[in-house]
Structure 1
């Protein structure tokens, strides 16, 4: 009989780091929604999270990273769906399934973040530009995954 092995649990130090990162992110999001992205300072976020300003910047090097802290997941999400498709499943079917799963889960990384968060993005020229760049990155990752899946040249439009 095969024994299932659970993945190792995060140590106390790693758990504390994750909790601190989430605390900072939560306070930043709350302040950005209430005051606006451009109007909120790193110092205000640090005060709200009860950490040093340097701690905030250690976890989030750029202010935009505080508002969009799942950038890599977003940019690679469509490519991951293509790469992880089931045997015999087309890329399109895998993308449809991934989208349906995101809708069912109301996944904030896929864009189901609520009207307040969406307003925060649209009201901020900085964040709007950053999100456009993330969409470009996502298209690039998807194009690369589709080229690999079809055996096409990566530069083939």
Structure 2
């Protein structure tokens, strides 16, 4: 989530808010991976995270936002890779190299992708998540074209 230097700079309220968000995300992820996205309710996530239902919605307006809570981190990784690519390297080549690097060192250098197979299987089993995934893809492509 953050390092010690950043923690020291954050006020107590911010640290508590981020910890609550992470607890909700962790609880939701465990439940989604165990039972599938569509079989998990917001109330079950709230109970598992030991928060109220409204607290869940304060942090995640939609259930699928909990599933894709690291979308921004993944997008930033992709865009940073493209922006920092060596001269003469196409964006596709840079992203391909990133993909190979993630495959070779899945959890060491890229903890975001540690549970990719279970994540993809869960996403593909839900029409809601597939639709949200298409929206995210379309937005990514638009942003990519603007680079």
The alignment's TM-score, normalised by the length of structure 2, stands at: 0.77
* CA deviations over 1:6-30 (Å, ceiling 9, x no partner): 6663222222211111110011111
User: Is there any run of 5+ residues in structure 1 with no aligned partner, and where?
Assistant: 1-5, 146-157
Aligned counterpart for 1:113 among listed residues 109, 112, 115: 115
Provide runs of 4+ in structure 1 moved above 6 Å: none
- Residue of structure 2 equivalent to 1:12: 12
How far residue 101 of structure 1 moved from its aligned partner, in angstroms, is 4.0
Structure-1 separation of matches of 2:111 and 2:135? 18
Q: d(CA) in 2 for partners of 1:65 and 1:24?
A: 11
List aligned pairs for 1:2-151, cutoff 5 A.
9-86=9-86, 88=87, 90-92=89-91, 94-106=94-106, 107=110, 109=112, 112-145=114-147
Q: What are the Cα deviations for residues 109-154 of structure 1, in whole angstroms up to 9, with x where unaligned?
A: 5x55243322211111111121122222222222221xxxxxxxxx
What is the root-mean-square deviation in Å for CA atoms of aligned residues? Answer: 2.5
TM-score normalised to the size of structure 1? 0.73
Distance, in Å, in 2 between the alignment partners of 1:78 and 1:114 is 16
SS in 2 for 1:38: helix
Structure 1 window deviating more from structure 2 (77-86 vs 134-143): it is 77-86
Higher relative contact order (CA 8 A, sep 6+): 1
Partners of 1:61 and 1:12 lie apart in 2 by 24
Give the number of aligned pairs. Answer: 138
Pick the structure with more helix per residue: 2
Paired residue secondary structure (1:116): helix
SS at match of 2:51: coil
Supply the distance in 1 between the matched residues of 2:111 and 2:126 (Cα, whole angstroms): 18
